[in-house]
């Protein structure tokens, strides 16, 4: 609708300019009469052209229809202008003159319209190509960031298995079984087009079970997430680095260990995730580790300024990481 209004407005301006030119070239005809003839002929061409463009797809058929409609549009416009002004009739030579002038300027307008349409199509194609290129660049960047996270966890776990093989083979076997479960879920999710918060929490449960084999009763955790929050589409490997950070900097260095709480909630703004621990609290490594830098980079790539990550110390000890992001669509 907006495009049609703009087109009609441009037609009115074009017609008025033609009336001015004709008044200068043919001074014995008043501007008001030239104005009426120019507007009637121009609007007649514009309205019929809009109808043809709306009904016919681009190509040879549309061009042929526009070419055939041009003399009909000019004739209709001249007839209306004669009726309005009362100047002459079709037997008057000036009617033929008006017909020729209308065809000339109508042809110029039609060529300009076709060129503008082609330019607009090329600009749209360029924008689509640019958008697709940007989308692929973002996807590649996100996959690179994700690839930086997963090997870090795998190498640490395999190192733990290696250290347990001699001292506690049974525990090493349990750890490998858990790692196998984690990999199975991770690979299945990698092949899926969409991942949900529920998938991520299932991965975290597996991860914490692996860590529990290593830390024993020094590591405790609880996960609180309503069913609706679990169905929210969620980027993979965005939450696990926060939990890894809590384990490494909060629970591991504290004598007696501690508890990690993972809470998810939905509000009017979006999805809010909290990872709280009762560990050692904030340290320099806690605030600026590679995992957190990675999470912030992925948030910026995915959500711009709409996604955020904040770290705070708890009054009773430990630290909290809060992840806020827009609520994307729910999975069926």
Segment 190-239, tens digit of pLDDT: 555 568 899 889 888 888 988 888 888 999 999 999 999 999 988 877 88
Q: How many distinct structural domains can be found in the chain?
A: 2
Report pLDDT for 139.
62
Report pLDDT for 54.
74
Flag whether 84 is in a domain.
yes
For residue 308, CA distances in Å to 5, 234, 295 come to: 42, 14, 9
For residue 32, CA distances in Å to 43, 246, 325 come to: 16, 81, 62
Flag whether 250 is in a domain.
yes
Report pLDDT for 67.
76
CA 220 – CA 78 distance, rounded (Å): 88
One domain for residues 195 and 315: yes
**Among 1-10, 58-67, 79-88, 299-308, the least confident range:** 1-10
CA 260 – CA 324 distance, rounded (Å): 19
Decide which of 127, 156, 181 is a domain's last residue: 127
Total count of residues recorded for the chain: 332
Pairing of the two strands 258-266 and 219-224: parallel
Report pLDDT for 60.
74
pLDDT of 265 > 90? The answer is: yes
The mean of the pLDDT values for the chain is: 80
**Token digits of residue 294:** 């990675």
Answer with the residue of higher pLDDT: 26 or 125: 125
Flag whether 153 is in a domain.
no
Cα torsion 259, 260, 263, 269: sign: positive
One domain for residues 19 and 83: yes
Q: Which pLDDT band holds residue 273 (cuts at 50, 70, 90)?
A: very high
One domain for residues 59 and 199: no
Q: What mean pLDDT do residues 144-148 have?
A: 56
- Listed in sequence order, the residues at least 6 apart from 222 whose beta carbon sits closer than 8 Å to its beta carbon are 259, 260, 261, 262
CA 19 – CA 43 distance, rounded (Å): 13
pLDDT of 23 > 90? The answer is: no
Q: Which domain holds residue 279?
A: 168-326
Flag whether 78 is in a domain.
yes
pTM for the whole thing?
0.55
Flag whether 230 is in a domain.
yes
Segment 86-118, tens digit of pLDDT: 776 777 677 777 778 777 877 777 677 667 777
Segment 157-180, tens digit of pLDDT: 788 788 888 888 888 888 888 888
One domain for residues 119 and 265: no
Report pLDDT for 286.
58
Beta bridge partners, 327, equal none
Report pLDDT for 145.
53
Report pLDDT for 262.
96
Tokens 């957190």 belong to 292
3-state SS record for the chain = CHHHHHHHHHHHHHHHHHHHHHHHHCCCCCHHHHHHHHHHHHHHHHHHHHHHHHHCCCCHHHHHHHHHHHHHHHHHHHHHHHHHHCCCCCCCHHHHHHHHHHHHHHHHHHHHHHHHHHHHHHHHHHHHHHHHHHHHHHHHHHHHHHHHHHHHHHHHHHHHHHHHHHHCHHHHHHHHHHHHHHHHHHHHHHCCCCCEHHHHHHHHHHHHHHHHHHHHHHEEEEEECCHHHHCEECCCCCCHHHHHHHHHHHHCCCCCCEEEEEEEEECCCEEEEEEEECCCCCCHHHHHCHHHHHHHHHHHHHHHHHCEEEEEECCCCCEEEEEEEECCCECC
One domain for residues 306 and 256: yes
Report pLDDT for 289.
65
Flag whether 216 is in a domain.
yes
Q: Which pLDDT band holds residue 280 (cuts at 50, 70, 90)?
A: confident
Tokens 């907006």 belong to 2
CATH of the domain at 216: 3.30.565.10
Report pLDDT for 140.
66
One domain for residues 310 and 184: yes
Q: What mean pLDDT do residues 48-54 have?
A: 75
Helix axes 60-85 and 93-167, enclosed angle (nearest 10): 140
Q: What mean pLDDT do residues 251-275 have?
A: 91
* Percentage of the chain modeled with pLDDT above 70: 83
Task: Quickly count: other Cβ atoms within 10 Å of residue 38's Cβ.
Answer: 28
Q: What mean pLDDT do residues 114-139 have?
A: 77
Report pLDDT for 3.
63
Decide which of 98, 127, 156 is a domain's last residue: 127
Report pLDDT for 194.
63
Report pLDDT for 46.
78
The number of CA neighbours under 13 Å toward the Cβ of 241 is: 29
Answer with the residue of higher pLDDT: 272 or 132: 272
pLDDT of 261 > 90? The answer is: yes
Report pLDDT for 224.
95
């Amino acid at each position: 609708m907006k495009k049609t209004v703009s087109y009609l407005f441009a037609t009115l301006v074009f017609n008025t300019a033609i009336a001015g030119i004709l008044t200068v070239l043919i001074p014995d005809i008043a501007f008001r009469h030239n104005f009426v003839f120019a507007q009637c002929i121009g609007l007649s061409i514009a309205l019929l052209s809009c109808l043809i463009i709306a009904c016919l797809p681009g190509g040879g058929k549309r061009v042929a229809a526009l070419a055939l409609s041009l003399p009909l549009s000019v004739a209709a416009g001249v007839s209306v202008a004669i009726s309005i002004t009362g100047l002459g009739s079709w037997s008057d030579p000036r009617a033929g003159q008006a017909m020729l002038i209308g065809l000339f300027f109508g042809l110029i307008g039609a060529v300009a319209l076709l060129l503008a349409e082609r330019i607009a199509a090329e600009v749209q194609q360029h924008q689509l190509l640019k958008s697709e290129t940007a989308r692929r660049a973002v996807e590649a960047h996100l996959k690179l960031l994700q690839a930086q996270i997963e090997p870090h966890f795998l190498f640490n776990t395999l190192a733990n298995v290696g250290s347990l093989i001699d001292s506690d083979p049974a525990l090493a076997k349990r750890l490998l079984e858990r790692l196998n479960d984690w990999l199975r879920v991770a690979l299945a999710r990698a092949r899926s087009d969409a991942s949900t918060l529920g998938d991520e929490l299932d991965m975290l449960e597996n991860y914490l079970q692996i860590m529990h084999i290593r830390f024993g009763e020094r590591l405790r955790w609880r996960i609180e997430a309503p069913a609706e929050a679990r169905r929210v589409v969620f980027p993979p490997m965005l939450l696990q680095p926060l939990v890894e950070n809590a384990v490494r900097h909060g629970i591991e260095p504290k004598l007696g260990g501690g508890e990690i709480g993972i809470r998810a909630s939905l509000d009017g703004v979006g999805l809010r995730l909290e990872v709280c621990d009762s560990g050692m609290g904030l340290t320099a490594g806690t605030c600026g580790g590679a995992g957190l830098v990675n999470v912030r980079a992925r948030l910026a790539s995915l959500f711009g300024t709409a996604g955020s990550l904040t770290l705070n110390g708890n009054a009773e000890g430990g630290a909290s990481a809060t992840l806020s992001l827009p609520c994307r669509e729910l999975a069926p």
